[in-house]
Amino acid sequence: MRLSDAALGRATLARQLLLGREDVAVPEAVRRVGALQAQEPASPYLALWNRVAGFDPADLDHALASGEVVRATLMRITLHAVHRDDWAPFHRAMTHPLRASRLNDRRFAPARLTPTEADGVRDALLAFCAEPRTQDEILGELERLLGADRAPAAWFALRTLAPLHHVPTGPPWSFSPRARRYRAGAATAADDPPPGDDPAVVHLLRRYLAAFGPASEADFARFTMLRRPFTRPAVAALRDELVVVEGPDGRELLDLPDAPRPDPATPAPPRLLGMWESVVLAHEDRNRVVADAHRPHVVRRNGDTLPTVLVDGRVAGVWRATEDGVDVAAFEPLDRAAWSALEAEAHGLRAFLADREPTVYRRYRRWWDAVPAADVRRVAG
């Protein structure tokens, strides 16, 4: 069976709750979509507003405060919000890239620690963080252990590779880059897992396919930054329980047998997605959601992934929130029905943001004037 880009897109959108907002509790919604990008504190809230019927941001506040949803550094060495049951296996599966990205970085060198010594400091830090600690408190403890000259470099590595949760610090979106607190999460082994010998990678692959499939091994590698010695054995371990379909170019794509693969003509309502939206970043081949011609306008050279507009299941432009309303810059001409539906979404978005941060993502607005748009409109004001 060969699937078109449209069929792949509908399959992924169905799993991502983007073919229609669903009446589901916040922790379960997070579990079903696998992982929500959380680089910007507002983004998990915007993601769930797009997916959950009647979403109340206070429900995510509660889930983060109670630990039902965990914010931590995971896939692609970036912050994600995940279900608490996925946190430990996801972190374990990501051990190798998390460690390699920091212990081999020149910014870690001033710590003057071998990997084994870093593991010892890590264990001491986790004991210290058995209760929530501010970043300043953690740096103070590392200064006590290592000295003031070595502590910042050690913290550069440990804040990423250690199993630490981010603890909510307050409104508007539970977290602030200026007031950070951390708590030790579930213990995971400090040493690199041997390639091909860790069930956590198999768990992560299964959850990835449930949330973003059908997908190739290369797609999984892109989503995680895991290399072939880790991805290939995981695929082999799951092979007997997976089905194989062909992508538009004949490539082998893997999927869970009972996962939804709706008709490619299934209606896909417009959506105003937040920054670093996972559905835009989850594949090596992203044509199922964003055309190659639009991709550089959405994923910038510095890695910023802009707030995107979905029309008929594909990225059709970008949006911004201002003091006066919500603006949409379309990359291509849209018909009257599409603009009317986007206006309804934008009014809902403006009402959603009103009590939290009406000008969300304001500090990234410098990119707006460089967008090569076919049509720019204020759709809510």
Give DSSP secondary structure letters for 153-184. Answer: HHHHHHHHHS-EEEEP--SSSS-BTTB-EEEE
Give the per-residue pLDDT at 380.
85
Flag residues of the chain having pLDDT under 50: none
Give the per-residue pLDDT at 189.
54
Judging by beta carbons within 10 Å of its beta carbon (0-12, 13-18, 19+), is residue 250 exposed, middle or buried? exposed
Give the H/E segment covering residue 272: strand 271-272
Taking each helix axis as running N to C, give the angle between helix 151-161 and helix 115-128, from 0 to 180 degrees, rounded to the nearest 10: 80
Give the per-residue pLDDT at 187.
57
Give the H/E segment covering residue 310: strand 308-311
Give the per-residue pLDDT at 367.
85
Give the per-residue pLDDT at 190.
54
Give the per-residue pLDDT at 32.
97
Write the DSSP symbol of residue 193. P
SS3 content of the chain, % helix, strand, coil (to 5): 45, 15, 40
DSSP notation for 101-161: HHHTSGGGGGG---HHHHHHHHHHHHHHTTS-EEHHHHHHHHHHHH-TTTHHHHHHHHHHH
Distance (Å, rounded) from C-alpha 253 to C-alpha 215? 5
* Residue 247 phi, psi dihedral angles, 5° rounding: -80, 180
What's the whole-model pTM score? Answer: 0.95
Give the per-residue pLDDT at 165.
94
Q: Cβ atoms within 10 A of the Cβ of 49, count?
A: 24
Give the per-residue pLDDT at 107.
96
Distance (Å, rounded) from C-alpha 244 to C-alpha 216? 10
Give the H/E segment covering residue 282: none
Are the CB atoms for 22 and 29 separated by under 8 Å?
yes
Distance (Å, rounded) from C-alpha 299 to C-alpha 238? 32
Give the per-residue pLDDT at 197.
64
